[in-house]
Structure 1
């Protein structure tokens, strides 16, 4: 199998691509936290590799209003964001498809002294009653790793109470036209922005081990709107002057010229659709 067959932009069956994430995150949970744990913090709410925190953006509302709110984190990884919310009095549940990441969450609970209720769940089939939460969010979780993100939005809509907030951060869609390279080479577009084939990795046997899905800005907006949400904001963080860390393709070289993250903020109408 050639290198281009092992990794690249490929059309793959939805069922195979959509189930690859669980195994990849199970296998790479420890390495991921070794690489990025210090940047993320054990009890901090980081929205993106640019380093912007919920304490700065207040996407879920003022900190003073978080106490007592029922909040769901989807694709939580080791639940660092949820832990930050717990410390502010929110009633939080963190979900992830990966048992490896949830085991890491328990280790961070022990280290930080802050306990977060967790559940292993696919974001497209949440194990909660309708209208259970006041807010839901994910920071780079779940949505990039499924071929049918619309199913995630529908489930979030279902479990939110009327007036609830749904916020999620993803790689900025424009980045998909550029190489995932933190140097100046990553500033030249090399593929079509409209090519929606996922980025796929395979093992030596050809089995799909990783799949990440691209959606254009319009795709995201249509999926959010079709679920019934009202889009309130799209935040495109500029590169902060204080952030010097390189994270994969995120770097100052690129971040000062190209958007790296998009944070979508949407509300469920106060009256049911």
Structure 2
């Protein structure tokens, strides 16, 4: 499989990136980076483990999807699954899980992990903004750093999640904490200095030698996220900003103990889609 180096050198550019551009760029990037990503992070993620964020918060501890007893036989969708360790973790506990990702390269790793573990989860290649699932098909939808940071139309993504979720269902997703956009992606002292405005919503775009976008990530403030959720019909039950564990010395990209003790690196939105009231 190709590596990111096969895209050639990429460099940041100040430019816009709509949903089609973002989708094309990120599919290219994650197809090319899938092998290298799993070489670097595969041990941390595991083959059938459910880690919400680089702060090492696990679903077995947090129960953000609800009571574990209620997950048995629940219909669950994982958004932006990567190699789908979270989906396999839930499937091993009796849930009926479907997982999807934009990247065929990532899904290839999911297939390999299913072979290693013997835990088979249905896998779909899809875009969160255009999901090929029936309305009200799932009891729970979740994402651990998948898809949401990479879409231009994040409001549309929230509407799509609301469409495929049954009334009364739960939507939980983790993303980079919005305040991290003010700081450089450096796990050391340089990463503690503000370099740009929190309110600058310009996308982060990297282009290849032909000036074609090869990676796109989008910034939304906390207020933006909440307004998009409310507009899609969700109720926000909790907003979790995991603290860095005192006994955890792992480093993941910009996440590190040095930064983690100063400010949050992750935000986790715990939402539900209200059921219609009965009169």
TM-score (norm 2): 0.94
CA contact (8 A) 2:10 2:214 kept: no
Asked if the contact 2:17–2:216 (Cα under 8 Å) also holds between the matched residues in 1, the reply is: no
**Aligned partners of 1:9 and 1:198 also within 8 Å:** no
Shift of 1:9: 6.0
Does residue 251 of structure 2 align to residue 249 of structure 1? Answer: no
Paired residues of 1:40 and 1:46 also in contact (CA < 8 A):
yes
Spell out the pairing of 1:130-149 with structure 2 (5 A cutoff): 130-149=135-154
Matched, 1:225 2:230: yes
Q: How does 1:162-201 map to 2 (within 5 A)?
A: 162-201=167-206
Whether 1:88 aligns to 2:83 is: no
List per-residue Cα deviations over 1:85-110 (Å, max 9, x = no partner): 00110000001111111111000001
The 3 A distance-change label for structure 1 pair 117 and 68 is: same
- Decide which of 14, 32, 39 is 1:34's aligned counterpart: 39
Q: Which stretch has the larger CA shift, 49-58 or 14-23?
A: 14-23
Cα drift, residue 17 of structure 1: 2.8
Match of 2:217 in 1: 212
Q: Pick from 101, 125, 134: which aligns with 2:130?
A: 125
Q: 1:264 aligns with which of 249, 265, 269?
A: 269
Matched, 1:11 2:26: no
Q: 1:9 to 1:227 in 2, by over 3 A?
A: farther
Do the aligned partners of 1:76 and 1:94 also contact (CA within 8 Å) in 2?
yes
CA-to-aligned-CA distance 1:115-160 (integer Å, 9 cap, x gap): 1111111111111111110000011111111101111110110111
Q: In 2, Cα distance between the equivalents of 1:7 and 1:207?
A: 10
Q: Are the structure 2 counterparts of residues 97 and 127 from structure 1 closer, same or farther at C-alpha, using a change threshold of 3 Å?
A: same
Equivalent residue for 1:22? Answer: 27
* 1:216-237 Cα shifts (integer Å, max 9, x gaps): 0100000011000001100000
How far apart, CA to CA, are the structure 1 residues paired with 2:22 and 2:71? 36
Query: What is the SS of the residue equivalent to 1:119?
Result: strand
Please identify runs of 4+ aligned residues in structure 1 that moved more than 4 A.
none
Q: Deviations over 1:144-194 (max 9, x none)?
A: 111011111101101111100001000000000011100011111011011
Q: Over aligned residue pairs, what C-alpha RMSD do you find?
A: 1.3
Partner SS for 1:20: helix
Alignment match, 1:158 = 163
Secondary structure of 1:19's aligned partner? helix
Shift of 1:213: 0.5
Quote how far apart the aligned CAs of 1:241 are: 1.8
Q: Which of the residues 245, 258, 263 maps onto 1:240?
A: 245
1: distance between equivalents of 2:114 and 2:82? 13
Q: Which of residues 44, 49, 52 is equivalent to 2:54?
A: 49
- 8 Å CA contact 1:7–1:199 kept in 2: the answer is no
Unmatched 5+ stretches in structure 1:
none
